[in-house]
Amino acid sequence: MNRYDRMVLTSLLRDGREDVDDDLRELVGLEIFDRREGLSTAERARLAGDRLRFVLAHVEPPSELVADPPRLIAVHEWAGLVDGALAALLAAHYNLELGAAMAGGADSDHVRALLAEIATGAAIGVVLATELGAGDDPAGLRTYAEYDPAAAEFVLRTPGPLAQKFLPDVVVPDVATSALVMARLVVGGQERGIFPFLLRLTTTGGPAPGVWITPISQRPGWPLSSAVVSFHETRLPYEALLAGGHAHLSRDGRLSGPLLGRRERLRQSVERAQAGRLCATAGSIATTKSALSMMTSLADHRALLLWVADTFAAAFLHNGAHRSYAQAQQAGGGLDDRELRAIAVANAWAARTSARILAESREHCGTQGLLTAERIAQYLVASHVVADAAGGNEWMAGSYEPPAGSELGPAGADLTDIDFGRYLLRERERGRRHDGPDQATQAAREGARLALDALVAAVEQAEAVGAAGAAATLRRLAALCALRALQADAAWFLAAELLTPQQVCALVPEVAGLVAELTPAVADLVAAFDIPADVLRAPIAGLGQRPEPAAAA
């Protein structure tokens, strides 16, 4: 590949964000983002909080940033490179609570006061949706807010131990917390669906009245605290309900609005949380690119190539998901179930792929990959935090619709033909949808197909701008990803007579051939990630910059 081809690859990976992040590259190079050794867990959490306030003071106001998706993604990408905890705080801050509050359309002193604290970092923003007894299915939430028309207040209650909320591990010591709580609205004794409520969860002095917080064990290597939260006759002002244009509750207790279905109200209420998940996954993908960039001088380039191929697929798939979400938001309309499922599945697949790559690449580095100075172990912990959050949104998808069929068949087909690979992955989804897999398994199959489609779309984009070398390399990467997906389920394809025995036997040598063909391009592919070593401040990122050992006396 020539220089133009590499530039095109970088542009495709960044999806146009290369024009909005020059100041961010400089920002994360400042002293406050230097690596700190020997800090306690509490000190690391406070440092993440300090860095959050620093970022908030040096970028656009929140109201502007949440309206600029490319810029918002870029902020999370650069933050993730230097501090995974900071990226988690930013995702919660900008997208989960602040974005939901803005989308809710509420305009009151109560909301303005809480958002003002969030905007400056005086308070951390979180969303409380998941409950102990509901798992990843918010439709099963039991926390409820009963409206008291006489006082024009809501009474928030946790009806039992299984209805306790998981507090996300983004809590910073001695910093106030505001929360967007998903709860069932009860009016006149009738449950009217799930809505978001904005409230103060903690002050610097402890939990707010009626809020009980029970700390739980922390994630290994993660500085931010986790807890479970319950509400006991917690009084909220009338303005705490963020129904927006989805419904209107009068002060005397009459509920009206355009949405009648409870599922529709739930979907509209939580749709905004997708932005937070998408931004968190963007940070995770950025750390994966960073880890692979640091490993070019250590890793076997054949292993590195496989991780690089998957990273390209995850990045392109995630770019498409975020683009679809941003376009729907900018058009002023919501997402239908099909669109929401595609975005949710794409985001979950990309997040889990990043976590897997970081785990495998860390192991490849041996003991050096565990050193905090090298960042990879910290990236790995943060990636699992993101994957856990991103993977919990298949419930939003509605009923699964298998992809359309195709007239292609295995007879005489070339295994390296990308269209043939796409056909087979579609048929796998269609044929295995009645196998009884859980949602995560079905979503993984769907995600693999969508990732291959995203790679093919990138090939077409490269061809459109005359980058023949980049297009040819991406085409071979797509073929490699398709073959590896077929390998993973070869027995089923054989049993379904979609592959012949000869084709199944040919999968291993075909993969080996593509790996041998693409391995010389690893350096160019990694260079397209465009991760500056000086920002990472990790010894592994610049082995040539290590100090020479002292000479023996």
Q: Which CA distances in Å does 499 have to 435, 489, 505, 506, 509?
A: 19, 11, 10, 10, 16
Question: CA-CA distance, 321 to 69, in Å (whole number)?
Answer: 12
**What average pLDDT does this structure show over 39-63?**
89
Torsion 412-453-13-512 (CA) sign: negative
Does the pLDDT at position 469 exceed 90? yes
pLDDT at 396 over 50: no
CA-based max dimension of the chain: 87
pLDDT of the residue at 161: 92
Looking at residue 533, what is its pLDDT? 83
Residue 502 burial class via C-beta count within 10 angstroms: exposed 0-12, middle 13-18, buried 19 and up: exposed
Q: Over 60: is that where the pLDDT of 527 sits?
A: yes
CATH no. of 97-266: 2.40.110.10
Comparing CA positions, the residue from 540, 545, 170 lying closest to residue 373 is 540
CA distance 357 to 237: 46
pLDDT digits (tens, 9 = 90+) for 145-175: 999 999 999 999 999 999 999 876 667 778 8
- The confidence score (pLDDT) of residue 135 equals 65
53 vs 107, residue with greater confidence: 53
What is the model's pLDDT at position 117? 87
Given a cut of 50, whether residue 544 has pLDDT beyond it is no
Calculate the alpha carbon distances from 22 to 18, 29, 326 in Å: 8, 11, 22
In whole angstroms, what is the distance from residue 225 CA to residue 218 CA? Answer: 6
- What is the residue type of 186? V
Q: What is the mean pLDDT of residues 380-393?
A: 74
Contact criterion met (CB below 8 Å) for 452 and 421: yes
Report pLDDT for 514: 96
Provide the token pair at 77: 């990408």
The alpha-helical segments, DSSP class H, found in 67-120 are 69-82, 84-90, 99-104, 109-120
Task: Put residue 292 in one of left, alpha, beta given phi > 0 → left and psi -120 to 50 → alpha.
Answer: alpha
Spatial separation of the C-alpha atoms in residues 51 and 121, rounded to whole Å:
10
Q: How confident is the model at residue 481 (pLDDT cuts 50, 70, 90)?
A: very high
176 SS3 class? strand
Choose the weakest-confidence range: 118-127, 129-138, 310-319, 497-506. 129-138
Given a cut of 60, whether residue 391 has pLDDT beyond it is no
The model's confidence at residue 332, banded by pLDDT at 50, 70 and 90, is: low
Confidence of residue 546 (pLDDT cuts 50, 70, 90): very low
Would you place residue 265 in the very low, low, confident or very high pLDDT band (cuts 50, 70, 90)? low
pLDDT for the residue 266 = 59
Q: Is 183 helix (H, G, I), strand (E, B) or coil?
A: strand
Q: pLDDT band for 553, please (50, 70, 90 cuts).
A: very low
Fold exhibited by the domain 418-520 = Butyryl-CoA Dehydrogenase, subunit A; domain 3 (1.20.140)
pLDDT at 96 over 70: no
Helix (H, G, I), strand (E, B) or coil at 501: helix
Q: Are 468 and 408 a contacting pair, CB within 8 Å?
A: no
Greater model confidence, 23 or 404: 23
- Compute the distance between CA of residue 95 and CA of residue 123 in angstroms, rounded to an integer: 15
Backbone angles phi, psi at 415, to 5 degrees: -60, -30
How much is the average pLDDT of 136-141?
Answer: 71
* Domain spans, the chain: 97-266, 418-520
Report d(CA 54, CA 257) in Å as an integer.
Answer: 41
| pLDDT over threshold 60, residue 259 | no
Residue-averaged pLDDT of the chain: 83
